[in-house]
Structure 1
């Protein structure tokens, strides 16, 4: 375009110069002087215009040459600026979309029935829904944001360790919030930002259902035992009565034959079965009194050591004939306290019978009395098959029995320890069990002085 401008101006000047000469010749020949002046004026104008165009063109060329890089840079910057504006529009759209999603996400979390907390790797709270605020008794989200989660719950997992191995997630822990049992489950929310979400689940209803189910099972067992109660009573009464009756029949023959030794033996058998009947009938009476809350305690001041020793001695034939040995020991020979003699006899008889049931032949039953400042402790131990931890926790509940399989010759219907517990409690005492499966059992009775 620039070259075309140059050529046009040159041609224009040549043409105009030629015309000017022609005009001057004609003006001289025909004596027209005004035309000659007019032609000079046009030539001057054209010359000045040509000169100006050349100067402008040269100036422009020099300007473009000198500022070419700046111009190119400006054009490039203009292009970049247009791209930035486009990207800004896109960013604003994306930001608005993200904002809408966050609003939807927040609304979703707020409507969930379970408490939820979002935390960072420093265990600080980023967000929590209103349900969590209700659980921790806080009104405003601002009061908990950036606070440590440990201020509100005891979550046992170390977040720093969990961040090293995401395969360990999710993690579950049972916690308490304001004495309410809950399950807290930790999920990985964002690996890059190291954020986590904790979802809480109220276990109160599940625990209640579990307890109801367990109670229902226990009731079923107790009802089954109650259903068989009469048959158990008749069975437990029939055996010792038949044994005693048989011994009496045999004694008539033995008296006629003057066989004193066998008479003594059958007398001991009858005596043992009398102990069994006594324990059994006393338990029935005591159960009735306990159920009707009609236990009457007849306290007397007596030497508990002598009382226990004498009663154990009266039971020794019963124990020895069961194939067991018995030992008695005490800190002091005389310890005087207030207690009910009949109740203590029934307590000791039940515990000794219990040891005989669950201790193998050639086993040992030990009684030891310890004297303390405020109370007396009576320990009745055996080296029998022991009890499980689960049964120890419910051993004193009526109709509770443990299935000990072939390791015992146990009979009955789960009332002996129930009676023992209530007879000791009636005397303002306490009884505990220490036992391990396969290592024996110790009953520890404490009677206040």
Structure 2
């Protein structure tokens, strides 16, 4: 018998008597994608299991109210408010379900929806803060043990169940770091020991997704790299055998090892650059598809605000692509000896100060305080202004990447007579001592740390070092892990008699340069 009170409810509802479902309305069927015969006659516990939610435990909540997720028949996550009221009949209860507006997951993840369809990488979305698996593709579920490698067994479950042995592992540490720092984390060649498949290796990223300024989801990707790791391990083992068997040819062996390591580093560089190029291209391509949908449906005017936001996204990712291409081309020119400097005599103090002033709006938006200081008001030296601008912006970009809101960045000019020092220091996370020797290497990138605050190809500092060296200067770094870093560029104080000044600071599009050079941290 249907409770008379339920007939006045306009929201999706479920009515039970003695913990048996006796009625649901059409709106509940539309919401959950079930049909009436699949629900009526079932116990509250059974229906709760179908929705991946414990309806029975809701009765123990204060005021019998709950906000969270339920899951439809086809495993679509719905964010709802659930409440219980008691019916007129003995042991009868009315459960109402109100879906939160603008909360559908597919609308929030339009840029990455294709990744779920392609199934080339493992992708998943977890809720915050309870880390419930809201969506995943089969490639990601293959990462789990057999109990959870099907969507019906894993969607709606907490990460501690889906990923067996999650508690107390590096995976939990990384996940907690994302929740605390609200920044993306990356781990390279994560080892996973599956009972049926044995050891596998994965490159994994965890990226927070924000909604109205609040961290709402964690977007998790996992790319299997087992073949790459095993191949590299095989090369390393072969190198050890060669070293052991050919001690009398030590010099030749070391040369071979150096060549193999160089090839390995270049291979890793190609993998990294491919990933970095693919990310902005995916976003631009997805946005183009969205515009095509708007055009075909005639809804361009209705979506004007969204289109403006998406155009900004296209611009930002175009800047990222420009920076990567510029860096690769210039490194190649330097390596082959084709990059020439256009030297002119410039007041380096005024030049660097102008650069710092031009980025203050950006650092302010990040909650960072940037300060310029100098021990001299004027120091004229010969330099290529366009190249030195890139050096300074690159060092400021690195300082921003590894600083948190409230931190301070100091740009200082120090006149040392024979040369001038330009230093950029921060009080961010710093660099571990073991990594200091490799940060200027052309194909090296410190990726095996537990977190990366921003995207990047790992070639920026190599390019900076090469540009400084072309000027006859040097670059050094001082850092203490957890306390910050200081990069110091020393340039000769000489001048040139014949200037080649193709750079005009009055006409130069400084804002464009800033957006390109800071594109991997710009938001």
Structure 2 length-normalised TM = 0.40
**Higher fraction of strand:** 2
Larger-gyration structure (1/2): 1
Higher relative contact order, chain-length normalized (CA < 8 Å, sep 6+) = 2
**Higher fraction of helix:** 1
